[in-house]
Amino acid sequence: MRLAAPGAAVEPPTRPCEEPLMAPATTPSPPAPRPNRASRVAIVAVGLLVVASCSHLPGRSPAAARPPTVVRVVDGDTVVLRIAGATERVRLIGIDTPETVKPDTPVQCYGPEASAHLKHLLPPGTPVRVRRDAEARDRYGRLLLYLWRASDGRFVNLEIAADGFGRPLTIAPNTAHRADIAAAASRAEASGRGLWRSCPAAPP
- Choose the catalytic residue: 99, 113, 135, 159: 99
Whether 142 is catalytic: yes
- Choose the catalytic residue: 88, 91, 113, 167: 91
Written as one string, the DSSP assignment of the chain is --PPPTTPPPPPPSSTT---TTPPP-PPPPPPPPP-HHHHHHHHHHHHHHHHHHTT-TT--HHHHSPPEEEEEEETTEEEEEETTEEEEEEETTEE---SS-TT-PPPTTHHHHHHHHHHHS-TT-BEEEE--S-SB-TTS-EEEEEEETTT--BHHHHHHHTTS-EE--BTTB-TTHHHHHHHHHHHHHHT-THHHH--SPP-
Whether 113 is catalytic: no
- Choose the catalytic residue: 88, 132, 137, 142: 142
Whether 91 is catalytic: yes
What residues are labeled active site?
91, 99, 142
